[in-house]
Structure 1
Amino acid sequence: MAAQKEKESLIKIENMSLEYGESINSTLALKNINLEINKGEFICVLGPSGCGKSSLLKCIAGYVNPTSGKVLMQGKEVDGPDWHRGVVFQSPTLYPWMTVNENVEFGPKMRDLPKAEIEDIREYFLEEVNLSGFGENYTFELSGGMKQRVAIARVLANYPQVVLMDEPFGALDALTRENMQNLIRNIWEENNTTIFFITHDVDEALLLANRVVVMSKQPGEIIRIFNVDFTDQIFKKGTKEVIYNDDYFKVKNEIMDIIHSQID
């Protein structure tokens, strides 16, 4: 993808540490994080439980301020949440009193876009997440996978510069999860979206990302970054047979070894 080759920097994390609590009760969650997220990238973050993956995402989103260091977005320091950084959580955070259409339209309406444009955006993203025809349903009428698709459409409808996803498929059954992986991979490709995706599943990371970031146990540090191209291979071949090749197993085993070395 051309945008990745040009390496247009979108987010830069510089010497960032995060401490929760104060004095003797404090916990160092993240330590000396340095990371650049480029436009059009799909970055997956892996690491042992409690390593600070979600804390890192919250700092990028602007929900939490780092204790030291900084998060910059296009050169400007992040100092709070912003629609340019859309967040998808593990549990869909939808408005249950609204229909699917109203949930997806919410962001564009808040930005006072013209009615016709809002409708076009809604229809486009409902089609992208394979939910055309469900617009008049309320979200409580939907399955878990469908709710998560609405949550993704709602975030994308704002055209954020980066989508931050915190284990978004973790609560789904295996088949739904695979369908959602295919869906987000295709949306990323079609829209040149920038995605920062947290997961505990090594296969999920390798089948989605073009960069995999591996973190240490708490306090979370970045141990290693892998550049991978299995997603490109899936697009070229149209199948996931890539997961059976030697290169895939080599990278997967290397990542697993690093993560296991971090578990007491």
Structure 2
Amino acid sequence: MLSQDRQNYANKFEKNLIEIKNLNLQYGSDNRSSILALQDINLNLKEGEFLCVLGPSGCGKSSLLKVIAGYLKPSSGSCLMQGEMIKKPDWHRGVVFQSPTLYPWLTVKENVSFGPKMRNLAKNKIEEISSYFLDEVKLSGFGDRHTFELSGGMKQRVALARVLANYPQVILMDEPFGALDALTRDNMQGLIREIWQENDTTIFFITHDVDEALSLATRIIVMSKRPGEIVKEFKVNFTSQILAGNKKTVIYQDEYFKLKNEILEIINSQIEK
């Protein structure tokens, strides 16, 4: 049963931003070769929450993100943003992938300012936005560098700044720190936590790392093996404890290990079936 503190923390996120109803996603139209990737997904993403998605490989986590982003259309059911059907990608839903998709012929600042420029914002506004978010991701001195001069962690910070520069209503992140070394990964987790808090951002975050999910999320969903279904949901507040204590990592408690073990048991049971 949830502790009262965790329940109160989870209840602060009330307004629906994304609503997914009875969603199914099938790849291919031939009955012999088609694959049912997602089955009967019902999920609401609340404004301001940090939702982490866990599940075995191939369970449809990335497919679900692509539906929300507007890259894929559901085979049946619906995916709505503020009551409107999501039909295609747009800047209200920013995406950060595991491998940063940057323009190598542009400088760091030009990459970050690309979105605002495409939206025809004034030059002084574009400069203000790009400078602000480069500072947010701790890259204020690297604006004139080209992306090939940067480390993997720095590239991922540029990718994050580029998404933030559009002021999206939700950031969709597909294992964004999976390719980073342990120290850089820890630093990026701290950075995204701070940005989420300071900018009141809504985040949908896919990961294979249970510790990462527990240390970042306000809510965790666990998916089954393919066809992916949501098998359990957890409301957590370890990230708020980290922020309140001005620390970089979670303070491990019996409740933390109990939740971690429960989540791992669910995932492992899906793999073993």
TM-score (norm 2): 0.94
SS of 1:44's equivalent?
A: strand
Match of 1:25 in 2: 33
174, 177, 191: which one pairs with 1:166?
174
Once residues 239 and 82 of structure 1 are traced to their aligned partners in structure 2, the CA distance between those partners, rounded to angstroms, is 35
- Cα deviation for residue 239 of structure 1 reads 2.2
Matched, 1:142 2:150: yes
The match for 2:20 among 3, 13, 23 is: 13
Paired with 2:33 and 2:12, the residues of 1 have a C-alpha distance of 45
The Cα shift of 1:4 comes to 6.5
- Tell me the distance in 1 between the aligned counterparts of 2:226 and 2:208: 15
Matches of 1:73 and 1:60, distance apart in 2:
8
Stretches of structure 2 lacking an aligned partner (at least 5 in a row): 1-7
User: What is the letter of the counterpart of residue 155 of structure 1?
Assistant: V
What is the percent sequence identity of the aligned residues? Answer: 69
Separation of aligned partners in 2, 1:4 and 1:198: 22
Aligned structure 1 segments of 4 or more residues deviating by more than 3 angstroms: 1-4, 240-243
Q: Counterparts of 1:103-122 in structure 2 under 5 Å? A: 103-122=111-130
Mapping 1:228-247, distance limit 5 Å: 228-240=236-248, 242-247=250-255
Amino acid at match of 1:234: I
Q: Distance in 1 between matches of 2:80 and 2:17?
A: 8
Matched residues, number: 264
> For residue 92 of structure 2, what is the aligned residue in structure 1?
84
- Work out whether 1:210 is the aligned partner of 2:203: no
Cα distance between partner residues in 1 of 2:10 and 2:238? 18
Distance 1:121 1:52 in 2: 35
Does structure 1 retain, via aligned residues, the 8 Å contact 2:190–2:248?
no
TM-score, with normalisation over the residues of structure 1?
0.98
Relative to structure 1, the CA distance from residue 233 to residue 2 in structure 2 (aligned partners, 3 Å threshold; closer, same or farther) is: closer
Distance 2:146 2:201 in 1: 27
| 2:197 corresponding residue in structure 1 | 189
Q: CA deviation at 1:5?
A: 1.7
Q: Given that residues 4 and 38 in structure 1 are in contact (C-alpha distance below 8 angstroms), is that contact kept between their aligned partners in structure 2? A: no
Quote how far apart the aligned CAs of 1:160 are. 0.4
For the residues of structure 2 that align with 1:8 and 1:71, how far apart are their CA atoms? 16
Where does structure 1 lack aligned partners over 5 or more consecutive residues?
none
| Partner Cα distance (2:161, 2:139) in 1 | 9
What is the alpha-carbon root mean square deviation over aligned residues? Answer: 1.4
- Please tell me the residue identity of whatever aligns with 1:247: E
Which position in structure 1 is the counterpart of 2:76?
68
